[in-house]
Structures are given as structure tokens and as C-alpha cells.
Chains A and B, each alone.
Chain A
Amino acid sequence: MKHIKFYFSILSMALLSNCIGTDIVEDVAVIETVSINNAIDSLKIGDTYTFSADYFNGLGKPVEAMITWSSSDPSIISIEQTGSAQAITAGNVYIKAAKGNNADSVKVNAGNTTSVLANNRQGTFMGRNNYSVSGNFSLQEVNGSLTLIFDDNFRASSGPGLYVYLSNQPTSITGGEEVGKLMKNAGAQSYSIATNIQLTTYNYVLIYCKPFGVPFGTGSYN
């Protein structure tokens, strides 16, 4: 009997000592980036349009920053440091948003109409780490609201705690935005996106095993 008591003591200590530990995760190195988030491809002569841009810091997070705006030919389209641009005469220019050495630019035609770029982006999933994720998706903007839509052909391997993320890293959620828990492993589904996110804020859609920190698949825009 004393053997049993001794053994129970050892067993109890072993089980009770199995507390939840802590993993220290090395952050993924992220390049600071600037992204124009409301690009247009043409601006009517005489009209004004205000550009805006996001700045992502070394953690991949969008933060407030002083953006420097410039036009490749101010005599065609001029732009102020507020991002407000005016078309003066016919022609093509590049509008550039910069912070330090990081910049983004968009080609704009000064002409007879003002037109925004397409209000949706489409892409395709591919698996990561030998997990199967496939199918098409689109990010659509309607009345200023964004919706992420997976098509009927979407398929993903089953896994514990799969979530959908928007990210600027193809295999990491560092600096990304959690959209929500994956609704189902196959078939059409849609997700509403937070209002502070623009159509071009993030360039990848990740299917991510959140509890275990493993990317199952990446959706890249066409």
C-alpha cells in the first residue's frame, strides 16, 4: 500500500506541474511600406481629388505617419501635401506617396473623366505546409464597405482553429488583420471587413491555424 501512496504522490506532482507555458515568438521581419489606398486611373481636367495612403511600420501595423506627396509633372496634375490633387491639362503622370525611402505610386491620366480603379480585387488560394487550400476569392467594395467572398470552389484541409486573416506577408499574420473564424472548410462564404481597412490595404488573404501558429494557405490577388 505504501508503494501506491508513493506512486500517487509522484503522479499527482507530475500532472499538477503541467501548467500552461509561454513560447517567445521571434517577430517576422517586415519591410516598412507605403500604400495608396484610394487610387484612381483618371482625373477630369479642372477637378480635384484627395489621395490617401497607409503607412505600415516594421511590425507590419498601419500607423499614422506624415506622407510626402509628389507628382511626376505638376504642370499636368498638381498635388498638395494634404494629398489633394488637381488636373490642369491633358497628359499622364505618376502620383507618388512617400515616407523616407518607402514609396508607392499610381499612374493617373488627366482627361475628360474621373474614374476610380476597379472596386474589387480577385485572387486564388494555394496551400502551404502541405495543407490543401484552393479556390477563388474576391474582395469587393460596395458603398464604402468591404466584403471578402470565397467562391463555391473554395476548399481547405481541416485543422484546429482555422481563421481568415488579411496580411501583407504571404505566410505570416504579423501586422495583419483577423477577419474571423473560417466558417466552413468547403464552399462559398463571405466575411465583412472592418471599416478602417481599404481595398488595397492588404495584399494577401491567409487561412491560418491560429492556436498552433501554422499557415494552411495563402490567397494572392491576380
Chain B
Amino acid sequence: MRNIYLLIILLCLNLNSYAGGGWPQPKGKGYFKLGYYGIVSSNYYSPNGNILDISTAGIHIANFYGEYGLTKRLTGIAYVPFFSRATLNEQKSARTGNVISEGDAVNSFGDTDLGFKYGIIVDKPIVVSASVMFGIPLGNSMGGRTEVLQTGDGEFNQILGIEASRGLNKGKSWVSTLIAFNNRSDSFSDEFRVGIELGTKLGDKWLANVKVLSVNSLNNGNDFETPSNGIFSNNIEYLAITPELAYQWNDKWGISSAIGFAASGKRVLVSPSASFGVFFNL
């Protein structure tokens, strides 16, 4: 049981993920993480996946992520980006030194996710859970002087997901799979997501995992009516590969860091994202 509980903790490390995989939190237990996520890029995947040069754009998010076991099977989940900063570099002519285009920035609260996970199959070698997450559009979809910077997409979405997980190697390793449907509103296209995660313990203190997530648009929205800036755009698609490393000081405290690579994509920034955080197990 201890190993299973450890696995639950380990799987709770990634930002914006269905942390914990198919395992719900035990009743009265929880996982809480204070994290940072950032990406800065001067390249962009065009609508057909070619890479374009763009003005350097970035987003930096300080966030809180929490899971709490309400019952043996039901877990409450919250992702709260309490400070989001989107930036756009100024452009200067190499020949004249003149400013071609001024830079811009916006700071605000970000789009927030609230939801639940329910354990359908628990206490088995393979566990399965279903989840529903509600994306609350608390961010700014038209920020800055240019009104093109975004800390949110401005739409209310609902993500329905199924996850299955299994412990391996006597509980020292694990594998989780994800299938999810993102129902988006306001003319945004819906999304289909699939993912897999492999992880393992490295000694007593270190943990490593790699997550592969594929996000695919159903292209059933209206491209003419939605805003876009590459992070919260409509019809975005990508294949993300995110290795992560975590270190636990003790049973309660630990830190983690991850780098996310977009192996391919459409309408998203090209450069790797970085995230790190400190987590606490209740």
C-alpha cells in the first residue's frame, strides 16, 4: 500500500496533467504543488506544421495545483494559475536601430481548472478512473497594448477523461494511459487527447518519468471567429514529450522539474517549455 501511495504522489508532479494517473487520492489525503511554467519562443508551428520565425513571445505562469481525496474513490482537483505573464519582444531594425514594433506584456490571473476524478476500478493491479475538469476562463484573452497577448482563451471548456494505470517492478515503476475529450465553447474546435506516462524510482530519493501527450483538434470550430496567439489558439495540435525529474526530501516535501518538447505541432510555439515546483503530501 505504501508503494501504491508513493506512486500516487509521483504521478502528481506535472502541471496541467491528470496527476495521479488512474489512482484517486485516498480519503483525507492530498497532494499540493506550487509551480512555475514558462515558454519563450521565436518560432511557431504554422497551421500545417511548418516552422515560422516570429517575434519572440513568452508566457510565464505561477500556479497552484492540488488534489484532495474526498472519499476513497472521489478526488477533488484544482489548477489555479494565480499569476500569468505574457510577453512580446520589441523589434529593432539591425540596419537602422529604429524600433519597428514596440514590445508588450500583460499580467493577470490565468484560466483555472476545477474538477473531480472518480475511481472506477480501485485496489486492482490495473486501476481505472474517470475525470471531469471544467476550464474556467479567468484569464485575459485580449491583453496588453496590442490586445493580442493572452493568459487565457476566453472560453469555458469541459474535459472528460479516462485513465488506466498499473504499478510495475514491485511498485518501483508505473505506467499510465490517458484518453480525453475536450469540449470547447465559443466557436473553438473540440479536442481529442491521448497520452502515456512511464515512470520509475531512482534510489530512495529520486524519481523520473516521461510523459507523451498528443492533442488533436476535431476542426469543428470556426477559425474566423476565435482569437489566437499560439498558446491558447483554436485548432492547436501537438505531440509533446515531457521528461521530468523529482527529488523528495522526505515523505512530505519534494521538488520537481520538467522540460516539455513539442516534437510536432500546429499553431503552437516551437521552443521547449520549462516547469519546476515544490510539492507537499498531506
Residues of A at the B interface (CB closer than 8 Å) are 3-4, 7-8, 11, 14-15, 18-27, 59, 129-132, 155-161, 185-186, 210-214
Residues of chain A within 8 A (CB-CB) of B55 are 23, 211-213
Known contacts A3-B278, A7-B278; A22/B92 CB under 8 A: yes
From B3-11, B100-108, B152-160, the one touching the partner chain is B100-108
Residues of B at the A interface (CB closer than 8 Å) are 34, 36, 38, 40, 42, 44, 46-48, 50, 52-58, 60, 62, 83, 85, 87-96, 100-101, 103-105, 146-148, 223-229, 234, 249, 253, 255, 278
Check A18 against B87 for contact (C-beta < 8 Å).
yes
With A157-B224, A161-B147 given, name 4 new contacts (CB 8 A).
A7-B34, A11-B62, A21-B90, A214-B52
Selected contact of B47 from candidates A11, A131, A156, CB within 8 Å: A131
Main secondary structure of the interface of A (DSSP, over half): loop
Check B92 against A24 for contact (C-beta < 8 Å).
yes
Known contacts A18-B58, A160-B148, A210-B101; A25/B94 CB under 8 A: yes
Residues of chain B within 8 A (CB-CB) of A214 are 44, 52, 54
Smallest Cβ-Cβ distance to A160: which chain B residue: B148
Check A14 against B234 for contact (C-beta < 8 Å).
no
Check B101 against A213 for contact (C-beta < 8 Å).
yes
Check B46 against A131 for contact (C-beta < 8 Å).
yes
Smallest Cβ-Cβ distance to A29: which chain B residue: B95
Q: Tally inter-chain residue pairs, CB-CB below 8 A.
A: 123
Q: How far is the CA of A155 from the CA of B223 in the complex (A)?
A: 11
Q: How far is the CA of A8 from the CA of B36 in the complex (A)?
A: 10
Selected contact of B48 from candidates A23, A130, A210, A212, CB within 8 Å: A130
A29 to chain B, nearest CB (A): 10
A163 to chain B, nearest CB (A): 11
Smallest Cβ-Cβ distance to A3: which chain B residue: B253
Check A23 against B90 for contact (C-beta < 8 Å).
yes
Residues of chain A within 8 A (CB-CB) of B48 are 130
Check B56 against A161 for contact (C-beta < 8 Å).
no
Check B229 against A160 for contact (C-beta < 8 Å).
yes
Residues of chain A within 8 A (CB-CB) of B105 are 20
Residues of chain B within 8 A (CB-CB) of A210 are 101, 146
Selected contact of A23 from candidates B85, B91, B253, CB within 8 Å: B91
Known contacts A7-B34, A157-B223; A211/B92 CB under 8 A: no
Check B228 against A211 for contact (C-beta < 8 Å).
no
Check A23 against B87 for contact (C-beta < 8 Å).
no
Residues of chain A within 8 A (CB-CB) of B226 are 158
B275 to chain A, nearest CB (A): 11
